[in-house]
Structure 1
Amino acid sequence: MVDSADSKEVVLTYETLYEVLRREKSKEELQKLDKNFFSDVLTYLREKQKAYDESLSKNDVFSIDEREKLRIQLSNIKRILKDLYDIRERKIIALSVNRSRINSDVVNTTNLLDEERALFDGLVAVLQVHRKGIINKILDLRKPDISLVQDKPKPKDTNKKIKRVKFLDKIEQFVGKELELYGPFDKDDEAKLPSEIADILIKQGKAVDV
């Protein structure tokens, strides 16, 4: 499924994928996609590949012509997806640079997919490490030293509250504030999570307190 300005959900087709790419190319900001975009794309690709594989056993004129159309379409779909990924990747890198520079939530990350969030958080962490270890030290008249920043242990929050939740839907793997990984979780799975994260999932209707 793909979010659009006219409809919240649109059946994934070659035409809608092309429109997603066109919109991403024409806008400076990262565009909104359905949260299940990658899984929907994978299902769509598998269906096309299955149709192509089944056509290999048919040798009549119509099937040969249809097989060639499927081959070309598969190739075009993969090219569209790669172009889309490359464009969004560049935008995510730019967002990461902005976040690391101003260290503020003013950078809009609402259109990041769950899979892209891990990339964004990882880039921000790396950029901040080098910013602290290089330019911040130079401005303080000290020698740059990345190792000190990287090896500095983080104080453990012994008072961090934990909540046990039950998931109401499938949740892909995501990254916490300190780059810790959670998930993936299936529907009806239960897990103990930091209260802050649990409260967000509960508020979004993705989990309930147990």
Structure 2
Amino acid sequence: MSESNHIDINSLHQTVLRETENDSILEINPNFYRNLADFIGNLRKQEFDGVENKIKDTLIDMVTELTSLLIKIRIDKISKTSDLEISYLLDEEKFILDSQEDQKERIEMILSATINGKSKFLESLAQSHKTKKIVIRFLHEVDELVGADLEKYGPFKTEDIATIPYENAQALIAKNVATKVHLED
């Protein structure tokens, strides 16, 4: 591992360059994304005036683009490699891959149930998904509504947070009335 814990635009650029020039996934610092998040967070906290602020904003944009490119390159390599060196995967990349495995399992489950004539299972699965609860934050006031689970929810005021059935939440999100609450700090 050539990367130290210190990250700046040059070290990030070098990491992305090395990753693009190599067909296999490279070993990088296990705390790379966390160190990168600290670097970006510290940049965002700095306050400048005029040209210096524009330079800071441009630097943040460059770091964001390089970070996005690095993640896409590494995930693409991971998905195309059969002889993957798993120890080179960062925890955050394992998190991404875990969701892809879940997706593959779900596709197999739906395919199997469909070709084996298990319509009741598919119906149960669909209903379960519609009524699965998710957390949303309201961007506008909303009157009381009846959920996909036939329970009553609301009324809600702007900035209220509620747990409601997935189908109802998706409808409100699509209308820009609410937004999904993500688990972030």
| TM-score of the aligned structures, taking structure 2 as reference length | 0.53
- What are the superposed Cα offsets for residues 1-28 of structure 1, whole Å, 9 maximum, x if unpaired? xx32xxx525211100000111111111
**What amino acid sits opposite 1:81 in the alignment?**
T
Q: What is the match of residue 24 of structure 2?
A: 29
3-state SS of 1:123 partner: helix
Q: What is the match of residue 115 of structure 1?
A: 92
Q: What is the match of residue 88 of structure 1?
A: 74
Q: Is 1:20 aligned to 2:6, yes or no?
A: no
Conservation of the 8 A alpha-carbon contact between 2:6 and 2:35: no
Q: Structure 2: how far apart are the matches of 1:46 and 1:11?
A: 14
* CA RMSD of superposed structures (Å): 3.4
Q: What is the match of residue 192 of structure 1?
A: none
Conservation of the 8 A alpha-carbon contact between 2:5 and 2:32: no
Conservation of the 8 A alpha-carbon contact between 1:93 and 1:123: no
Deviation at 1:117, TM superposition (A): 0.9
Conservation of the 8 A alpha-carbon contact between 2:78 and 2:84: no
Q: Structure 2: how far apart are the matches of 1:125 and 1:49?
A: 35
Q: What is the match of residue 101 of structure 2?
A: 124
- What are the superposed Cα offsets for residues 34-62 of structure 1, whole Å, 9 maximum, x if unpaired? 111111111101111122x3x13xxxxxx
Deviation at 1:130, TM superposition (A): 4.5
Q: Which has the higher contact order (CA 8 A, sep 6+)?
A: 2
Greater than 6 Å deviation, 4+ residue runs: 142-145
Q: Structure 2: how far apart are the matches of 1:73 and 1:133?
A: 45
Q: What is the match of residue 47 of structure 1?
A: 42
**What amino acid sits opposite 1:40 in the alignment?**
N
Q: What is the match of residue 6 of structure 2?
A: 11
Deviation at 1:107, TM superposition (A): 3.7
**What amino acid sits opposite 2:101 in the alignment?**
V
Give 1:135-150 correspondences, 5 Å limit. Answer: none
The percentage of counterpart residues that share the same residue type is 17
Gaps of 5+ in 2: 126-185
3-state SS of 2:53 partner: helix
Give 1:142-161 correspondences, 5 Å limit. Answer: none
Q: Is 1:77 aligned to 2:54, yes or no?
A: no
3-state SS of 2:87 partner: coil
Aligned pair in 2 of structure 1 residues 144, 16: CA closer, same or farther (>3 Å)? farther
3-state SS of 1:93 partner: helix
Conservation of the 8 A alpha-carbon contact between 1:17 and 1:80: yes
- What are the superposed Cα offsets for residues 64-86 of structure 1, whole Å, 9 maximum, x if unpaired? 33223222211111111111122
